[in-house]
Amino acid sequence: MNDAAFFTIAPSPVGPLTLLGAGDDLIGLYFDDDPNGAAARRGAVRDDRRLRAAVAQLDEYFAGRRTRFDLSLAPRGTAFRQEVWRALRRIPYGQTSSYGEIARAIGKPAASRAVGGANHHNPIAIVIPCHRVVGADGSMTGYGGGLDRKELLLALEARTAKRAA
């Protein structure tokens, strides 16, 4: 992977999104009020053209026309976090899972808190769907983008899934 980072800023129904790429990979997707997005842009070059496919897929997602992303992803994190992020990508569109269910899915049933930490450090919001993780009782739990965004994303997916059924 080429480490020269580039970024673009895309409008969305949940506010401006900063997309960060390196080589052919998407390595970050941050909400406008996430300080990690500002940090990621430092030293990166703005290049709207190279992230055009990712922006187009996000547009389709928000329009209810895309339920799976087809992007090359390279989130940076520990082996454990990578494992959790892979598990998050297996949560079906329009459905939710709990921290405990994710921990069991990765073969670490006692690691619910660690799964929560990995979820919190997900660098590619929306595409790696950490918004689909809820409390064991189905309650809305913390979300780095704010509970209002989490609820909006889940409602969008529920409406789209219902129309497709």
Residue 148 phi/psi, 5° resolution? Answer: -65, -40
Catalytic residue, from 128, 130, 133, 156: name it: 130
The runs of H, that is alpha helices, within 21-123 are: 35-41, 52-62, 79-89, 99-105, 112-120
Residue 130 phi/psi, 5° resolution? Answer: -65, -15
Task: Establish whether 130 is a catalytic residue.
Answer: yes
Alpha carbon distance, N-terminus to C-terminus of the chain = 40
Give the residue numbers annotated as catalytic, written as ranges.
130
